[in-house]
Structure 1
Amino acid sequence: MRNVRVFDGVGDKTLDGADVLLEGGHVVAVSSSPFAQDQADGVLEIAGDDRVLIPGLTDAHVHLMGNANAMADFLEGPTGVLYGNTIAEAGRMLRRGFTTVRDMGGDTAPVKALIDRGEFEGPRIFPSQAMISQTSGHADFSFVYDVPEEFGGRPSRTEDIHFTRVADGVPRVLTAVREQLRQGASQIKLTLGGGAASMYDPLSTLQYTFDEIRAAVEAASDYGTYVATHVYTPAGITRAIDAGVRSIEHGHLADEATVRRIAEAGAWLSMQPFAEEDHHYPDPVRAAKNTEICQGTAQVYEWAIAHEVKTAWGTDLLLEPQAAARQSAMAARLAEYYSNVDALKILTSGNASLFELAGDRNTYRGGKLGVIAEGAWADVILTEKDPLADLSVIADPDANFAVIIKGGQVVKNTL
């Protein structure tokens, strides 16, 4: 790639007039001097003409299966349709420029395997497999009249398709964690408090006891990985951190003392810049919960910046396939809270640092993610306009992403 302005995912400025050599799926060299002309067969030379080259974008909180399908699909649709929709959305997500994602609930390990083999287009995936929940918790999708499995009932439809797993008590939690690891989870997802999308749990609820959370943390640690938890409130976040949780998902209702506690513990805050229009709930109870969550967004970001919390970015779009493309606009929305360059760091190398907590469960250890540097994975985007000057560039990938490359393979090239 010739004559590009390289934002490497780490620095504050671009390296201008650079040549970047990609080979064998990796970045081989980045040089401020032109490379010698290579006439070898099969070599593709792209004239950047002073466009900006950035690392592939990342999303730390997606639900590939969860947002590729509506609730009716989960409850009534054939299983094959669920996976077909998921694979299709994975391809669209890659063409929006997202080359690596962390999936926080859904049976995406098989989809990951197919993508990694080159059978389908899609991002690199760090799967959590099923979201693990207590009875009546955030990921309990059974009907109110269903008998819990503990009392002789059968698992819900979402458990049958490995989207959720309800487990109560330390022994069942341990089994649920180990089940997800057996199925290929990179990290474990627990739900520790109420949520807007769930039916039974007010936001204030505390879910899972300290002993249950600690058991999950120990089981994940034994596999060399970590636990991430859906939780919004100070009490829930504190319990999670005390039990050894490494990544707080959401946290929008935290107070300043709790945000400071996250920083002191060295944990991650995996936030989403929610606005009310990101999700649509037809019933007033869930709509009110969504409003309350969104109202906390700006303040928690302010405290996270002030206390230098390790902050990741994600979308958490769920059960609304028609809204999937909002992912790009939500990425650009980070500019409301950060400088453009700091936002781009979060969207690239920042999220990638969180992904690395998966340790040996990270199947992409053969290269660095989220950066443009020698030895890194060749996941790059050539932009028509400069996102460091205007982050809204990434909100319209169709118009503004001239070239998308993942693992050295050209996904899109309009030049």
Structure 2
Amino acid sequence: MRKCLALLFCFLVTPLQADPLYVHVGQLIDGQSDRLRSGVTLVIEEGRFSAVESGYQSVPEGADYLDLRDRTLMPGLIDTHTHLSSELAPGSYIRRFTENPGDVAFRMVPFAERTLMAGFTTVRELGDSHGLSIALRDAIRAGHVKGPRIHAAGKSLATTGGHADPTNAWADHIQGDPGPRHGVINGPAEAAAGVRHRYKEGADLIKITATGGVLSLADSGENPQFTEEELKAIVETARDYGFHVAAHAHGGEGMKRAIRAGVRSIEHGTYMDREIIRLMRRHGTYYVPTISAGRFVAEMAEDEDFFPPRVREKAAEIGPLIQDTFARAYEAGVRIAFGTDSGVSPHGDNAREFIYMVEAGMPPMAAIQSATRVAAEMMGIADDLGTVAVGKRADLVGVPDNPLEDIGQMLKVNFVMKDGRVYRHE
């Protein structure tokens, strides 16, 4: 008889056996085609797809089998902008003085599991402290905790007083002068040193804060914060180490400098204009919108006690603009990869971004592809992930009905597989 693994896989914490697993899928979004496929058989061996066949193929006697004919499956989702080391809440700004790294690390574990259970099997983790996302990445790889596959940037790079300077607004006697080791650089030589420190700590890519930001206690939310020479030094050094560079940027001038320097992606992009759109298309720069973060901070800005006063002002001003920026960028043909900035918005709610993208005019299929094939292409992992295809990692996410007809289905994930291992099956 077939061995139906629906219940067994819910609790599986060890690697899959080598025997092939047959999966009958009701409807499949494969990440490659713009069309929904009905009635598909997947065969999985050693954590990878070994066959993707039309129709419900016969299952050999005694073979492992999953019956998923009652739902729609798609490749494991990818969120290219997360912060698993935090989740914004009243009192967040004082925690840096009351918590130790171990406190933060333990809080990351449920955030990671929540993200995986929401269907996001891979994330790009864009900025933390104490190398915690790198440690979490390694713990997940080793099977110690459950979570998505992590590509970690480690500590974001900033200039003195910039958005990712960890000592902004501290009292003079504790402020000090952080250097490249702590992600604060000034001048091309320190810029290169900052990249090399990220390499030393085991990062997978580089994150920079090319402009001011909303949530930092620095005054400006949009001013350029790196010179062109500093940006070129970062990108050129990153290239030597095989790193992509992701650039947080709200203001126009900072975006222009970062794009000309050769960053891989612009995160947020709030004040993107036609010139910037043309630059992004010319340079092949990806856009990661993070509408979820903009919507969340704008909503929280209505609460007088949630943010410090200057942050509240910036959140109310900048947050509501991102969805409209996304709409203009999509219409103009900018390459868009899915990203939420979760940690600003709550972890596990990542899929709300799909709803906001569709509201702004992106078709549901394109929105899903932005979190599968396009995200994988941007991250340089398309040979392994992003589509359901022979030879690729067996990451699968299932929802009860057709998300192309109701994008809200993306909030109803009831099946999650990563590397051929099932973590959720309801």
Moved more, 136-145 or 268-277: 268-277
Alignment check: 8 A CA contact 1:57 1:348 kept: yes
**What is the deviation of 1:94?**
0.4
Match of 1:189 in 2: 207
Return closer, same or farther for 1:275/1:317 CA change in 2, 3 Å cut-off.
closer
Alignment check: 8 A CA contact 2:77 2:120 kept: yes
Alignment of structure 1 residues 300-379 onto 2, 5 Å: 300-318=325-343, 323-337=346-360, 338-356=362-380, 368-379=384-395
**What is the deviation of 1:52?**
0.9
Alignment check: 8 A CA contact 2:294 2:322 kept: no
Establish whether residue 81 from structure 1 lines up as the match of residue 103 from structure 2. Answer: yes
- How many Å separate the matches in 1 of 2:330 and 2:311? 29
**What is the deviation of 1:66?**
2.9
Match of 2:230 in 1: 212
**What is the deviation of 1:148?**
9.1
Moved more, 195-204 or 90-99: 195-204
Calculate percent identity across the aligned residue pairs. 29
**What is the deviation of 1:77?**
1.1
**What is the deviation of 1:409?**
0.5
The code of the aligned residue for 1:60 comes to T
Alignment check: 8 A CA contact 1:248 1:269 kept: yes
Alignment check: 8 A CA contact 1:68 1:85 kept: no
Match of 1:122 in 2: 147
**What is the deviation of 1:319?**
5.8
Establish whether residue 52 from structure 1 lines up as the match of residue 64 from structure 2. Answer: no
- How many Å separate the matches in 1 of 2:86 and 2:194? 19
| SS of aligned partner of 1:48 | strand
**What is the deviation of 1:204?**
3.4
Return closer, same or farther for 1:353/1:172 CA change in 2, 3 Å cut-off.
same
Return closer, same or farther for 1:118/1:242 CA change in 2, 3 Å cut-off.
same
The code of the aligned residue for 2:79 comes to D
Alignment check: 8 A CA contact 1:380 1:405 kept: yes
Moved more, 48-57 or 70-79: 70-79
**What is the deviation of 1:117?**
1.5
Establish whether residue 146 from structure 1 lines up as the match of residue 172 from structure 2. Answer: yes
The code of the aligned residue for 2:224 comes to L
**What is the deviation of 1:145?**
3.1
Q: How many residues align?
A: 390
TM-score (normalised: structure 1): 0.88
Which one of the candidate residues 376, 382, 386 is aligned to 2:402?
386
**What is the deviation of 1:174?**
1.4
The code of the aligned residue for 1:236 comes to G
| SS of aligned partner of 1:312 | coil
Alignment check: 8 A CA contact 1:312 1:346 kept: yes
**What is the deviation of 1:352?**
1.1
1:247-273: CA deviation from partner (whole Å, max 9, x where unpaired)? 111111111221121111111111112
Alignment check: 8 A CA contact 2:373 2:386 kept: yes
Alignment of structure 1 residues 270-289 onto 2, 5 Å: 270-274=288-292, 277-279=295-297, 280=300, 281-289=306-314
Q: Which runs of 5+ in 2 are unaligned?
A: 1-22, 301-305
Q: Which runs of 5+ in 1 are unaligned?
A: 357-361
- How many Å separate the matches in 2 of 1:335 and 1:406? 26
The code of the aligned residue for 1:248 comes to I
The code of the aligned residue for 1:267 comes to T
Establish whether residue 100 from structure 1 lines up as the match of residue 122 from structure 2. Answer: yes
**What is the deviation of 1:213?**
0.9
1:221-250: CA deviation from partner (whole Å, max 9, x where unpaired)? 001222111111221111111222221111
Give the alignment's Cα RMSD to 1 decimal. 2.3
Match of 1:264 in 2: 282
Establish whether residue 178 from structure 1 lines up as the match of residue 196 from structure 2. Answer: yes
Establish whether residue 406 from structure 1 lines up as the match of residue 411 from structure 2. Answer: no
Alignment check: 8 A CA contact 2:25 2:73 kept: no
Return closer, same or farther for 1:247/1:27 CA change in 2, 3 Å cut-off.
same
Alignment check: 8 A CA contact 1:94 1:122 kept: yes
**What is the deviation of 1:410?**
0.7
Match of 1:359 in 2: none
Return closer, same or farther for 1:76/1:405 CA change in 2, 3 Å cut-off.
same
Match of 1:65 in 2: 85
Alignment check: 8 A CA contact 2:415 2:424 kept: yes
Establish whether residue 21 from structure 1 lines up as the match of residue 43 from structure 2. Answer: yes
**What is the deviation of 1:394?**
1.2
| SS of aligned partner of 1:166 | coil
| SS of aligned partner of 2:394 | coil
TM superposition outliers: structure 1 runs of 4+ over 6 Å: none
Alignment check: 8 A CA contact 1:136 1:201 kept: no
| SS of aligned partner of 2:203 | coil
1:255-298: CA deviation from partner (whole Å, max 9, x where unpaired)? 12211211111111111124655123523422221232233223
1:294-347: CA deviation from partner (whole Å, max 9, x where unpaired)? 332233223322321111121113367xx3233222333221121111111112
1:139-179: CA deviation from partner (whole Å, max 9, x where unpaired)? 11213433698xxx3649xx9xx8x6222222222111111
Match of 2:59 in 1: 37
- How many Å separate the matches in 2 of 1:319 and 1:51? 31
